[in-house]
């Protein structure tokens, strides 16, 4: 049973164009995600799914220079991009991550994959009932489950947001939500979606990055010592799609 991570990444963004290649400690954000996934022992491999737009040629160049497979497809139909990528590498299980999350903790990803495997679920995530900070988002879905979503839904939003169909139809799938031990930290933004997010991430990387992925406990410790950092992006609100927050 092969487990492959698919990184959804595009240069286009309403709030922060080019965010996936924004430098953190002089390294493109997307390359940090490559290094994070290389530290996840449960993964067999990973790849990038992006669009056929000319502006996304830059993403393919970064992938080529990093020896990472890049699969390109529809601009708005991300689910179809995932279908094409799945047909290319034929995984049993797909781990969905995004180019917005260059602070993902490999241990969090490992935990979600482990619980998915142990329970024989169709879909496992840590986002349905959030306890982890935003930016630790990990979704694990069986390849045949994703194929079912593609076949059954013609809804535009379901195709733009890969797992939305699953989350809207819990009656059709065996699902699991993974929670963080200890007090919830779902009010904390560690993702890269706005200029304020970027300023916070720059601060975290400048203080903690030492050539290997930063772990979540290190971030908590830093923010405990410097609580003013959390104020940088605390006013940012996340968008909803069909009453589901992404």
The per-residue DSSP string of 75-126 comes to SS-HHHHHHHHHHHH--SEEEEEETT-TT--HHHHHHHHHHHHHHT-SEEES
Distances in Å between the Cα of 11 and the Cα atoms of 16, 59, 161, 190, 199 are: 9, 8, 17, 19, 19
Whole-number average pLDDT of the chain: 95
Cα 67 to chain centroid distance, Å, stands at 20
131 within domain boundaries: yes
Task: List pLDDT tens digits, range 66-91.
Answer: 999 999 999 999 999 999 999 999 99
Examine residue 49 and state whether it is found in any structural domain, yes or no. Answer: yes
Question: How many domains does the chain fold into?
Answer: 1
- Domain membership of residue 141 (yes or no) is yes
In a domain, 150, yes or no: yes
pLDDT at 241: 54
Alpha-carbon gap, residue 192 to 84, rounded angstroms: 26
- Which CATH number fits the domain that encloses residue 40? 3.90.550.10
Could you tell me if residue 219 is inside a domain? Answer: no
Q: Give me 16's structure tokens.
A: 């922060």
Domain for residue 220, yes or no?
no
At residue 102, does pLDDT exceed 60? yes
- Domain membership flag for residue 239: no
The answer on pLDDT for 188 being more than 80 is: yes
Confidence of residue 13 (pLDDT cuts 50, 70, 90): confident
**Does residue 171 lie within any of the structural domains?**
yes
Residue at token pair 């390294």:
27
Q: What pLDDT does 238 receive?
A: 65
Domain with 109 in it: 3-186
């Amino acid at each position: 049973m092969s487990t492959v991570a698919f990184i959804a990444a595009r240069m286009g963004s309403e709030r922060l164009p080019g965010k996936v290649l924004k430098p953190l400690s002089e390294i493109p954000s997307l390359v940090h995600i490559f290094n994070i996934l290389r530290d996840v022992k449960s993964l067999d491999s990973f790849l990038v799914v992006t669009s056929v737009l000319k502006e996304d040629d830059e993403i393919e160049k970064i992938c080529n220079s990093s020896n990472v497979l890049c699969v390109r497809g529809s601009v708005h139909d991300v689910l179809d991009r995932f279908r094409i990528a799945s047909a290319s590498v034929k995984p049993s299980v797909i781990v969905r991550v995004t180019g917005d999350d260059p602070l993902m903790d490999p241990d969090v990803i490992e935990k979600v994959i482990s619980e998915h495997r142990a329970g024989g679920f169709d879909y496992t995530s840590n986002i349905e009932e959030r306890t982890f900070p935003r930016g630790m988002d990990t979704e694990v879905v069986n390849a045949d489950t994703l194929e079912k979503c593609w076949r059954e839904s013609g809804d535009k939003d379901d195709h733009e947001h890969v797992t939305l169909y699953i989350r809207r139809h819990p009656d059709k799938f065996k699902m699991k939500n993974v929670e963080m031990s200890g007090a919830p930290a779902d009010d904390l933004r560690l993702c890269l979606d706005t200029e304020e997010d970027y300023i916070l991430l720059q601060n975290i990387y400048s203080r903690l990055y030492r050539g290997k992925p930063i772990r979540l406990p290190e971030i908590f410790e830093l923010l405990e010592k410097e609580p003013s950092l959390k104020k940088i992006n605390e006013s940012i609100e996340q968008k909803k799609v069909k009453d589901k927050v992404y």
